[in-house]
Amino acid sequence: MDVARPGSSPFARVGRREFGYNTRQVDRFLTKARAHYNAEHPDGAITSTDVRGMSFDPVRGGYEPQAVDAALDRLEDVFAQRERDHVIATEGEEAWLRKIGRTAAVLRKRLHRPAGERFRRPTRTKSPSYNIEDVDRLCDELLQYLENSVPMSVDVVRRAVFRKTTGADGYEENQVDVFLERVVELMAGID
């Protein structure tokens, strides 16, 4: 795991007047992650899901967000691989395959819904939502990845950006986000 040593600055900083990630929060999390990673018998205190969900407060002059996000993506992949290896070592490869098979089946069910009907629409007319065509385009790519082994990087899903709209003109953001988190979890564990 390539995390800087204590006392060194692992990431470039944004300009003094620009906003970046809180350096203390980033350093503290990475120190904790390093200790967990290097532990002989990790206790599960940090999981790939924790890494994926990590966020830091914006501060002036903080760490450059894209660099921190890229490092977190690599860290998530390392932890996902370790979690997969642990399940295989303790429960067997069949248990791992059943687990990812169940997850993939749930994801595919949603992906097989007709375009425009894959996710809920917000009930409030002013609620922000994601552009349906943008989300459906990514869903079509994911279906090709899952069913036809079309190569796709997990980073495509991690970095997906959808145009914004409001109300029932789009998909409910939270539901799409949760679905994509499950996709990332699956892809990080497979690759």
CA neighbours within 13 Å on the CB side: how many for 77? 15
pLDDT at position 191, please?
67
| For residues 27-36, average pLDDT | 90
In the block, tokens 């899952």 appear at 146
Q: How far is CA 140 from CA 29, 85, 143, in A?
A: 35, 30, 5
Bridge-based pairing of strands 19-21 and 58-60 is antiparallel
Tell me how many degrees the CA angle 171-173-174 measures, rounded to the nearest 5.
125
pLDDT at position 150, please?
93
pLDDT at position 167, please?
80
| For residues 101-130, average pLDDT | 92
Quick check: 18 pLDDT over 80? yes
Please provide the size of the chain in residues. 191
pTM of the model: 0.74
pLDDT at position 42, please?
61
pLDDT at position 4, please?
43
Where residue 2 falls among pLDDT bands split at 50, 70, 90? very low
pLDDT at position 135, please?
98
pLDDT at position 44, please?
59
Lowest pLDDT segment from 29-43, 71-85, 92-106, 164-178:
29-43
Token pair of 172 as six digits: 């409910």
Rounded to the nearest integer, the mean pLDDT of the chain is 89
